[in-house]
Amino acid sequence: MDKEKEMKFTYTGILHNKKGEKIVRVCFEREGNGSRQFAEGVVPEGKIDASFGFSDEEITGLEKYLKDNAADIMLEARKITGITHWLK
């Protein structure tokens, strides 16, 4: 795959928002035009709340991806959360 087209997807363990609800912060990153482009959001809400270098159409696609895959992302984040006590 062309390095310009590669996208990296990372996520946190389970966090809690101000209402006490379980959430996971996610980030999509890629290199483009010599700079880092990113889109950051949250599941299960499936909203991108910060971005740079992504078009509105791409943001809409990423939000759809987050909504469609929220349960799987939460499940994977739960695995990370389960081992964080080892790092303390």
**So where are the chain's domains?**
3-87
Name the percent of the chain lying above pLDDT 90.
74
Encoded tokens for 28 = 């999509």
Is residue 40 within 8 A of residue 53, CB to CB? The reply is no
**Dihedral sign of CA atoms 29, 35, 60, 20 in order:** positive
pTM exceeds 0.85, yes or no: no
User: pLDDT by residue (tens digit) across 21-53?
Assistant: 999 999 999 987 788 999 999 999 999 999 999
Residue 28 and residue 37: Cα distance in Å, rounded?
8
